[in-house]
């Protein structure tokens, strides 16, 4: 027996309907905000991620699926922002229209220790707006994120925001931390001791209570921001207030990727438990130039689809399409049925039939299991009279309908397909 690799999931037909629902809602909302879809490969040069996410980030250090080959190292993408910036530069999208609003969805891969809400293959729905430093764009992107969550009927989520400032401010923040933590190093947890050396900003979102208390006690809130970045952050907050988006400023929100500058944000939900982030994002104003493009600002986010579904499942039920189920009795009816099914499908009416030679009773049970709205029975008697027996599964009533009138009769009674 072959088994799934730990941390991967089969999305079975009954779950696929919820996935399709999220995908459809998100496509509609992205188009309202005028974002266009981009699809990039699942494999990229590993160095793209080393360079973008940062050599010392947890993802690059421990979580990349690497494929070694003659041309060097490839990696399964752990996230899509770096790939999209690569595609934006490589395909000269900046020549076509410098400012681009893009969205994407698809699988991402991280070699993590699997647990609830933490997978090795998971899915993102995300957006990237490339080509502007305007704080109103930050407001639009956070508002898009908020609209998606509301569109998915998710309630009680929290949007947390912070500003990391520009590259210089980040350096300043690192220095403040270095200075303040040096004398307290022995009190930090083992991981933070390593972070102190390798990636000191990550100490700020350590989950250990002792470390958290010590770091909160340092009182470094926004003190590292230069006047431009401070102003930018004030404008973002004012904009969010104007469009009525609730948020909380969390001074210790740093995010685990090196490319972030200025605004960073995270959406959390208490029902998720330990892995409580539904999604996250922020500005990455230096990434485009670092990867060989122009000096232009950008901002984006990604939502974790599996985590969205953990929350959304309890709040809504996906609707299945209304189906017509045809039961044929005898060889002749079976052949006539083939044509009938074909004409239903050409009229965009969802239908199915029995391929397992079930008895009438068994076929009716199958129709019931499928949640059929109508059952059609076609046997020798019906064929002689040129009719079909139509059973309305809602009311339980049954009548004979002429074969040439069955499509219009059913169309009258089916809800339009969306
Ligand atoms: P991220 O915070 O690494 O950001 O991932 C975004 C979301 O993906 C997380 O909040 C979480 O919901 C989900 N996620 C991450 N790892 C896993 C996992 N192992 N299993 C299940 N879900 C997971 C990014 O990836 C950035 N690219 C977001 C971004 C876009 N920033 C700017 N633009």
pLDDT digit string, tens, across residues 8-21: 999 999 899 999 99
- Hunting for tokens 């072959």 — which residue is that? 2
Among 233-237, 272-276, 302-306, the range scoring the smallest mean pLDDT is 272-276
Would you say the CB of residue 112 lies under 6 angstroms from ligand 1? Answer: yes
CA of 401 to the centre of ligand 1 (A): 55
Tens digit of each residue's pLDDT (9 = 90 or more) over 190-201: 989 988 888 888
The angle that helices 46-53 and 81-90 make with each other, rounded to 10 degrees, is: 110
309 alpha carbon – ligand 1 mean position (Å): 15
The pLDDT of 308-321, averaged and rounded, is 70
Going by pLDDT thresholds of 50, 70 and 90, the confidence category of residue 208 is confident
Neighbours of 280 (CB within 10 A): 22
Residue 317, pLDDT above cutoff 80: no
**Predicted confidence (pLDDT) per residue in 61-78, tens digit:** 999 999 999 999 999 999
Please give the distance, rounded to the nearest whole angstrom, from the Cα atom of residue 108 to the centre of ligand 1.
9
The average confidence (pLDDT) of the chain is 93
Cβ atoms of 155 and 317 closer than 8 Å? no
> In the numeric block, which tokens belong to residue 231?
């102003």
Ligand 1, residue 81: give the atom nearest the CA.
Answer: 27
Cα–Cα distance for residue pair 51/46, rounded to 1 Å: 9
Residue 240: which of 129, 144, 164, 100 has the closest Cα? 144
Q: Please, which pLDDT band fits residue 164 given cuts at 50, 70 and 90?
A: very high
Give the 3-state secondary structure of residue 266: strand
Residue ID of nearest Cα to ligand 1 atom 23: 304
CB of 194 sitting under 6 A from ligand 1: no
Q: What is the average pLDDT across 176-187?
A: 88
User: In ligand 1, which atom is closest to the CA atom of 112?
Assistant: 19
Model confidence at 316: pLDDT above 60 = no
* Number of neighbouring beta carbons within 10 Å of residue 220: 17
Q: Residue 319: its pLDDT value, please?
A: 56
Per-residue pLDDT band for 315 (boundaries 50, 70, 90) equals low
Rg (CA), the chain: 28
Distance of CA 205 to the CA centre of its chain: 23
Q: Whose CA is nearest to atom 30 of ligand 1?
A: 301
* Ligand 1 centroid – CA 348 distance (Å): 38
Cβ 22 vs Cβ 106: under 8 Å: no
Q: How confident is the model at residue 320 (pLDDT cuts 50, 70, 90)?
A: low
- The model scores a pTM over 0.75: yes
For residues 233 and 185, is the Cβ–Cβ distance under 8 A?
Answer: no
| Cβ-contact 39, 72 below 8 angstroms | no
What is d(CA 33, CA 141) in angstroms, rounded to the nearest whole number? Answer: 9
User: What is the band of 130 on the pLDDT scale with cuts at 50, 70, 90?
Assistant: very high
Distances (CA, A) of 323 to 25, 60, 209: 22, 48, 54
Distances (CA, A) of 335 to 319, 329, 340, 378, 404: 32, 10, 9, 10, 16
Comparing 33-47, 151-165, 207-221, the range with the smallest average pLDDT is 207-221
How do beta strands 261-269 and 157-163 pair? antiparallel
DSSP label of 55: T
Ligand 1 proximity of 78 Cβ (cutoff 6 Å): no
pLDDT at res. 416: 65
SS3 per residue for 362-408: HHHHHHHHCCCCEEEEECHHHHHHCEEEEEECCCCCEEEEEHHHHHH
Question: Atom 2 in ligand 1: which residue has the minimum CA distance?
Answer: 280
Kindly give the residue spans of alpha helices, DSSP state H, lying in 37-166: 46-53, 58, 81-90, 93-96, 135-151
Q: How far is the CA of 376 from the centre of ligand 1 (A)?
A: 48
414 versus 157: the higher-pLDDT residue is 157
C-alpha distances in Å from residue 210, one per residue of 172, 188, 190, 262: 24, 7, 12, 27
In this predicted structure, the answer to whether residue 273 has a pLDDT above a threshold of 90 is: no
Instruction: Give residue 215 CA to ligand 1 midpoint distance, Å.
Output: 24
230 lines ligand 1 (CB under 6 A): no
Kindly state the tokens that stand for 265. 């944000």
CA distance 196 to 189: 10
Average pLDDT over residues 75-99: 94
Nearest CA to ligand 1 atom 31: 281
Atom 25, ligand 1: residue with shortest CA distance: 79
Distances (CA, A) of 202 to 150, 209, 211, 260: 31, 15, 11, 13
State percent of the chain over pLDDT 90.
77
Ligand 1 pocket test, pick from 7, 105, 124, 276 with the greatest ligand atom count within 8 Å of Cβ, gives 124
Residue whose Cα lies nearest atom 9 of ligand 1: it is: 279
Q: What does the pLDDT average to over 126-147?
A: 98
Q: 């590259």: which residue's tokens?
A: 167
Distance 312 CA to ligand 1 centre (A): 18
State the pLDDT at residue 96: 78
- Between CA 247 and CA 65 the distance in angstroms is 35
Q: Mean pLDDT across the stretch 407-414?
A: 91
With a 6 Å cutoff on the Cβ, whether 258 touches ligand 1 is no
What pLDDT score does 314 carry? 57
- The reply to whether ligand 1 has any atom less than 6 angstroms from the CB of 278 is yes
Does ligand 1 lie within 6 Å of residue 279's CB atom? yes
């Amino acid at each position: 027996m072959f088994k799934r690799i730990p941390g991967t999931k089969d999305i079975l037909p009954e779950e696929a309907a919820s996935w399709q629902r999220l995908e459809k809602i998100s496509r509609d909302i992205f188009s309202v905000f005028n974002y266009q879809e981009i699809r990039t490969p699942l494999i990229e040069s590993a160095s793209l991620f080393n360079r973008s996410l940062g050599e010392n980030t947890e993802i690059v250090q421990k979580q990349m699926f690497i494929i070694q080959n003659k041309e060097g190292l490839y990696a399964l993408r752990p996230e899509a922002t770096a790939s999209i910036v690569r595609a934006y530069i490589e395909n000269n999208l900046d020549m076509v229209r410098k400012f681009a609003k893009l969205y994407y969805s698809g699988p991402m891969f991280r070699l993590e220790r699997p647990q609830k809400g933490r997978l090795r293959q998971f899915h993102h729905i995300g957006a990237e707006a490339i080509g502007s430093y305007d704080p109103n764009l930050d407001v639009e992107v956070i508002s898009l994120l908020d609209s998606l969550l509301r569109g998915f009927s998710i309630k009680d989520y929290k949007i947390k925001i912070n500003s990391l400032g520009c590259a210089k401010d980040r350096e300043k923040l690192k220095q403040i931390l270095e200075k303040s933590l040096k004398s307290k190093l022995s009190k930090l947890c083992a991981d933070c001791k390593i972070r102190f050396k390798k990636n000191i900003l990550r100490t700020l979102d350590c989950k250990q209570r002792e470390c958290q208390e010590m770091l909160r006690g340092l009182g470094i809130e926004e003190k590292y921001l230069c006047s431009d970045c401070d102003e930018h952050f004030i404008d973002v907050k004012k904009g969010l207030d104007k469009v009525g988006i609730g948020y909380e400023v969390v001074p210790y929100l740093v995010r685990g990727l090196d490319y972030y500058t200025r605004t960073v944000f995270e959406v959390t939900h208490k029902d998720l438990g330990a892995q409580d982030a539904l999604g996250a994002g922020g500005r990455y104003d230096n990434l485009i130039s670092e990867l060989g493009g122009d000096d232009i600002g950008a901002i984006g986010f990604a939502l974790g689809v599996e985590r969205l579904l953990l929350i959304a499942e309890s709040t809504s039920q996906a609707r299945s399409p209304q189906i017509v189920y045809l039961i044929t009795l005898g060889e002749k009816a079976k052949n006539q049925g083939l044509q009938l099914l074909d004409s239903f499908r050409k009229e965009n009416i969802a239908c199915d039939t029995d391929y397992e030679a079930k008895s009438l009773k068994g076929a009716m049970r199958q129709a019931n299991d499928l949640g059929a709205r109508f059952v059609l029975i076609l046997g020798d008697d019906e064929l002689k009279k040129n009719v079909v027996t139509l059973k309305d599964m809602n009311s339980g009533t049954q009548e004979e309908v002429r074969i040439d009138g069955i499509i219009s009769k059913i169309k009258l009674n089916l809800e339009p397909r969306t």
